[in-house]
Amino acid sequence: MSAGGEDPRGRELAEALDRVRARIAGAARAADATVQPTLIAVTKFFPAADVVRLHRLGVRDVGENRDQEASAKAREVAELVPAPLAWHFVGQLQSNKAKSVVRYASWVHSVDRASLVTALGKAVLRHRDEAAAGQAPAGPCTEQDLTCLVQVSLDAEEHRGGVRPEDAVRLAEQIAATEGLRAGGVMAVAPLGAAAGPAFDRLRVVSEQLRQSLPEAAAISAGMSQDLEEAVARGATHVRVGSDILGPRPPVG
């Protein structure tokens, strides 16, 4: 295969991507999954040039966790690739960043509180007004509602990243009732120092409860480089993979 051409980094990414795609396909086969999970390549800390390389390799979904980095990268990439990419915001989000995020993101995976739902809804409507008035370029949310996932904490005791499982349905219903937003489903990160499988089982239970009131909110965003097999085995519809595609990230200082 000449997918990488003369570009060594392109070749490296092509090989890593092939390995990850094969792992996902293998896990989906083993689980008798009827749909292939969507692979989101998490490109945080890596340059726009890598996003362009991944796009050439067929990647259409990319994830980022910091607005400042993501908004600049999304602008840069938009000039370089013709077909649109879907940007997935997967990190902790301050409400005052909602305005910026809705300009490039199609999905926010990390919705964890009512005030953020309100801020995102307002930001989408305002962006639509500004785009209609020619004051801002159109973005994904001018065409479609912003897909929001409820981030669920799977920690046994402390609930840092995300809502408690018992609070997830209420937050999703608030999303569904907010103009400009679409309730897409649930997201989680496996707890540190505990087995991922049982945690993802708990996420699946939350997803089932959620679908009783919101059947279309069926996305389950779970699984990263280390635990994507466990997530796919438990019904993940979206896996978020960074380091096993792009390589190790620089240590955060």
By the criterion CB under 6 A, which residues form the site for ligand PLP? 42, 44, 65, 90-91, 189, 224-226, 240-244
CA 181/CA 158 separation, integer angstroms: 29
What minimum distance in Å lies between the beta carbon of 12 and ligand PLP?
A: 16
Which amino acid, 103? R
C-beta closer to ligand PLP: residue 39 or 214 = 39
Q: Which residue has the tokens 């301050």?
A: 94
Q: Which of 223, 251, 227 is nearest to 236 (CA)?
A: 223
CA 232/CA 220 separation, integer angstroms: 10
C-beta closer to ligand PLP: residue 38 or 142 = 38
Beta bridge partners of 99: none
Q: Which of 14, 20, 13 is nearest to 224 (CA)?
A: 20
C-beta closer to ligand PLP: residue 161 or 180 = 161
Q: Are 114 and 156 in contact (CB under 8 A)?
A: no
C-beta closer to ligand PLP: residue 107 or 180 = 107
What minimum distance in Å lies between the beta carbon of 205 and ligand PLP?
A: 21
What minimum distance in Å lies between the beta carbon of 225 and ligand PLP?
A: 3
What minimum distance in Å lies between the beta carbon of 3 and ligand PLP?
A: 21
